Chain A
Amino acid sequence: MTLLPDWLTHNNDCRELEAMLRNRSPESLETMAARSRAMTLRRFGRTMPLYAPLYLSNYCSSGCAYCGFASDRTTPRRKLSEEEIRREIAAMKQLGIQDILLLTGERTATVGFEYLQRAVEIAAESMQRVTVEAFPMSVEEYRELAMGGCTGITIYQETYDPLQYEALHRWGPKKDYLYRLETPERALEGGIKTVGLGVLFGLSDPVTDALMLYRHARHLEKTYWRGGISVSFPRLRPQTGGYEPTYPVDDHLLARIILAFRIAMPDVELVLSTREKPSFRDGMAGLAITRMSIASRTTVGGYREGESPEEGQFEISDSRTAEEFCQALRNRRIEPVFKNWEPAYNGPSGEIPGCS
């Protein structure tokens, strides 16, 4: 049985958040939406920074019961060569994308740290901002990624419930709950500027998971005062392997969770991907969300080839083109922003010349 740290289980400053999550009345949702909208507008204005994911590889050593890329799936495995990465990035740049999220599965002999590090360097040659969603790494590895131009990582705990976590992660390095939990700390320690947290809603009790996610974010904010925190709200989608969510989260509850996070964390970046359908994405864009993905492909590569016949990690619900999505944002008086970073700010955070 995993012994959870106190900061994850004993923290009373989330009583207001819990009250917002447990109240399910439609009136309270409207009230929260109005408050969240005003807070978002005041702090973040009427702009929406955009990014797009690039799946570098679907090799994986873990056995997550809910994932289309788990190592027991029959999905054909491949990884992009350096040349293919360059071509994919060129195709993404044609769509206007300047902010890229590089993804892999859990570390394998075929796709390990050196491969990822090289991909970051290649991406940083032409993209304005490079972030990574891959496997947990050591402090030293994160420092090297930051040196190569990686400014942020995303690492979801998936569920904070240790029993569900144990059951769902059937084998592989991801079975180690605490090592994964401490990954954002190692990344910030290594000089990565921003860590993205999240749970995969549908795997466990959503309110408990949301509260623990909040405690995790607050713990990081207090411990690593230079660290940027973002929170994502992925919800389980139909995947290869046919896993059915044990705790389905409907639109109303997901919206409530997102709004509650905005109210509880007024300055934190909240992210929504193309897992969600257009109406939900467009609606939440004006209310709480401050960073979104566009024109996503969840197959390895996929930008250059257009629609790929392969099966991706999960099904995309918002398949609008970059231009269609930007127009939808503009119709809601939100400006899509492709470049919201400057490579002059790359490099490990907190390194002051003469002190490092």
Chain B
Amino acid sequence: MPGNRFNAFQDHGVGIGLRIPHYEHIFSRKPVVDWFEIISENYMCDAGRPPAMLDRILEQYRVVQHGVSMYFGSVTAPDPEHLKRLKNLVRRTKTPWLSDHLCWGSVDGTYTHDLLPLPYTWEAVERTVERVRMVQDYLEIPVAVENVSSYAAFTGSEMTEWEFLTEVVERADCGILFDVNNVYVSAMNHEFNPLDYVNAVPAHRVAQIHIAGHSKYEKYILDTHDHPVIDPVWQLYARAIERCGPTPTLLEWDDHIPSFDEVHAEAKKAEQFLHPHATELVGAAK
């Protein structure tokens, strides 16, 4: 059976993030795309153009929601209005699962709008588990948490990031949106071997995989989503697929966005890892 209970047993294939500069191409050319991922917050307004455009997409394509401001690790509870709007959007898109980040970003009702890293402590595990369970119960669909790119580590951490992730998802009984680019970025920024992370992640809980490009600076790497995926990240992806099996995969491209065809072609490179035998057969037939 394809998929697992964390992605509603879906075999989505390879998708790309839905971005406004591609609307015209999508509506006029109706390209064949396995699925689109939307950033939930960009469609959580009351009415007008964003939901109308989304409805047009939903007529033709499968859509999965990805959020950026649930902040599962924030100590203060999420805004009920946020949850209500998110659930309304879930009803609209009929997303089979939903993801957001394993991070924090707001405190006492003030929002940084950033994906801030958590200290890997038992206290943070407990707090995050509680929040993930609450959101999952409220939304009534499988929730997957995504590992973030981080630039700082905490003196108080009591475990590795992958141990922290494992503790959270096992206790919350939720899925993982495994971002292999984020693994690479964090590995470079925190000086660990990214394969250790990929080899340790609980593969049976991986609902979805993210791939993306990043920017390398002199002293750190920034997760900018504005370049093609680099080879070392493809290697991590290959290893992740080896461990998890065929998994819905999504390319994120958020800045200096090239043409739809270019983004889609970059995403489709994932197929050679997802279906290596099929690719070999096509190659042989040619």
- Bound pair (A, B): no
